[in-house]
Amino acid sequence: MTQALSSCTATLVNRVLEEPSRLDRVIFGSRQDPFAMTPSERDHFLLDVVVDSLQHHVRNNPRVASFFARHNFSPESLGRLADLDTIPLLSADVYKRMRVTSAADTPIVRSFTSSGTSGAVSRIERDNLTLQRLSGSIRQAARLLEPWVPRDVNDEDLELVNLGPSREEAGEIWFAYIMAMAEIIAPSTYYVSGGVSYLEAAADAVMERITSGGLIGIVGAPFLLFELAKRFLSTKKRPKAHERLFVITGGGWKRNQAQAVVPSTLRAMTVEAFGLVSESQIRDGFNQVELNSIFFECDYHRKHVPPWVHVTARHIETLKAIPAGEAGLMSYVDASAMSYPCFFIADDLGTVSADPCPCGRTGPTVTYHSRIARQQAEGCSSKLDAKLTDRRRK
C-alpha cells in the first residue's frame, strides 16, 4: 500500500509545497511514526501546528477573524497545551448553515456532504492540500493496523472486499469516499450496487480467496460485517482464514442501530465466522465529514489521535472541557484542514483517555459511545447555536 502512496505523496509535496511545513513533513513523511513522538515532542508539535493553522484561518476567513475577535481570542495567546481548550469552537451545525471556507487563494477541489441520515447535511469544501493531508492521515493511521495490513504488500498479494457502495455510486457522500480510500491499499471489489447489498457474492469472494491462499481485507460498515458474519455462522461452510484476513470497519450502525451489538461481540463473532486467529485482525476507524483526519484502533482497540489533532470531551450542558476519562460531547481542533476552519463541537458522545496505551504509542485515545439521541442532540445544537455562532448578528 504505502510504497505507491509514498511516491504519490512525495510528488505531491514537491509539487504543492516549495518548502513543506512542519506539519506536512510529519503527515507525508515516511520515516517518523507520528504516534511514536515522545510526549514532550508531541505537545510542542501540536501547539505549534494548531497556532499556525488558526493564524491561517484568521488571515483567510473573515468570519473566523470576527468570531475570534468577539471572543477576545487570539491564536498568539496559546502558550501551552492546556490553552488549547480555550479556543472558541464552532458548532458542527455551522457547516450545515453556511459556507465557511478559508480557501482565499486556492481552488476547491471537492465539496463533500455528510451522509445525512436526518435533516440538513454538512457541506465541507476541501482544497488540494487539505484533501491530500486527509490521505496522508489515513496512511499514517494505517501504521496502527500493522502487521495485519502490511506496509509493503504487492497489489497482487492482496484483494479488498468492500461491503460499502462504490464511490461513483455514492456520489459525494462522505462515508463512501472514506471507504473508497481503501483503494490506496489494494484493488477493491464492491458488493453494494444500485442500493442492493450482495453479501452472498461477498461471502463467495472471501471463500474463494481464502481457498486459493491469498490475502484478503474486508472493508465496510459494522452492520454489513455483522450480516456477513451471521451468514457464515449459520452454515458449516466457513472460511478458515487464520492470519490471511483483516477487517476494517467504519461509519457506525446508522439506520441499523436497532440491531447494533457492542464492538467486542462483533469482533468475537467475526473471529469465529472467518476462522481468524485474533480479534486484533478486526479494527474500527472513526471519521466524520467535518474532521480531516481518521482515528484507527490499535491492537488494544483504542482509537489513537494523531498529533495534529486536539480532542477534548465537553460537558453536555456547559460545554466546558471535562477531565480525561469522563464522557462528554466530543470537540476537535484539527490543524490539517486549510480550506475550512476545523475546530468544532460534534454531537458524538465520547471519552478521551490520557492513560498510556499498552501498545506504547503516545498521545490520547478516544472511545465513542452510542450516538446521542436526536432530540438531545437538537437541544445541544440549539445551545451551541446560541453560544457559539453569529447567526443573528449577520
Q: Cβ of residue 366: shortest distance to Zn ion, in angstroms?
A: 11
Q: Which is nearer to Zn ion, 148 or 340 (CB)?
A: 148
Q: Which is nearer to Zn ion, 362 or 389 (CB)?
A: 362
Among 176, 225, 330, 357, binds Zn ion (CB under 5 A): 357
Q: Where are the alpha helices (DSSP H) in the chain?
A: 2-16, 22-28, 39-60, 62-70, 94-97, 128-141, 167-170, 174-180, 199-211, 222-233, 263-274, 374-388
Stretch that binds Zn ion, among 23-31, 113-121, 160-168, 355-363 (CB under 5 A): 355-363
* Dihedral of the alpha carbons of 309, 310, 313, 316, in degrees to the nearest 10: -90
Amino acid in position 288:
Q
Distance CA 376, CA 326 (A): 19
Q: Cβ of residue 353: shortest distance to Zn ion, in angstroms?
A: 10
Helix axis angle, 263-274 to 222-233, nearest 10°: 40
Residue 248 bridge partners (DSSP): 219, 283
Q: With beta carbons less than 8 A apart as the criterion, state whether 293 and 306 touch.
A: yes
Q: Cβ of residue 46: shortest distance to Zn ion, in angstroms?
A: 18
User: Number of residues in contact with Zn ion, rule: CB under 5 A?
Assistant: 5
Which residues, 247 to 306, sit near Zn ion by CB under 5 A? Answer: 298, 300, 302
In the sheet that holds 215-220, the strands lie side by side as: 188-190, 158-162, 215-220, 245-250, 282-286, 295-296
Q: Cβ of residue 357: shortest distance to Zn ion, in angstroms?
A: 3
Q: Which is nearer to Zn ion, 137 or 188 (CB)?
A: 137
Q: Which is nearer to Zn ion, 53 or 249 (CB)?
A: 249
Residue 220 bridge partners (DSSP): 249
Q: Cβ of residue 143: shortest distance to Zn ion, in angstroms?
A: 11
Stretch that binds Zn ion, among 108-116, 122-130, 225-233, 352-360 (CB under 5 A): 352-360
Q: Cβ of residue 162: shortest distance to Zn ion, in angstroms?
A: 26
Q: Which is nearer to Zn ion, 144 or 322 (CB)?
A: 144
Stretch that binds Zn ion, among 104-112, 217-225, 359-367, 380-388 (CB under 5 A): 359-367
Place of cell 473566523: 64
Place of cell 440549539: 382
Q: Cβ of residue 111: shortest distance to Zn ion, in angstroms?
A: 34
Helix axis angle, 39-60 to 62-70, nearest 10°: 110
Q: Which is nearer to Zn ion, 267 or 302 (CB)?
A: 302
Q: Which is nearer to Zn ion, 210 or 311 (CB)?
A: 311
Spell out the residues 6+ positions from residue 136 whose beta carbon is closer than 8 angstroms to its own.
9, 24, 27, 28, 336
Stretch that binds Zn ion, among 110-118, 149-157, 342-350, 353-361 (CB under 5 A): 353-361
Q: With beta carbons less than 8 A apart as the criterion, state whether 201 and 227 touch.
A: no
DSSP 120-173: ---EEEEEHHHHHHHHHHHHHHGGGGTTTS-TT--GGGEEEEE-S--HHHHTTB
Which residues, 88 to 127, sit near Zn ion by CB under 5 A? Answer: none
Q: Cβ of residue 371: shortest distance to Zn ion, in angstroms?
A: 24
Q: Cβ of residue 7: shortest distance to Zn ion, in angstroms?
A: 29
Q: Which is nearer to Zn ion, 24 or 299 (CB)?
A: 299
Q: Which is nearer to Zn ion, 291 or 357 (CB)?
A: 357
Q: Which is nearer to Zn ion, 32 or 111 (CB)?
A: 32
Among 207, 359, 381, 383, binds Zn ion (CB under 5 A): 359
Q: With beta carbons less than 8 A apart as the criterion, state whether 35 and 144 touch.
A: yes
Q: Cβ of residue 299: shortest distance to Zn ion, in angstroms?
A: 7
The answer to whether residue 233 forms part of the interface with Zn ion (CB under 5 A) is no
User: What is the binding site for Zn ion (CB under 5 A)?
Assistant: 298, 300, 302, 357, 359
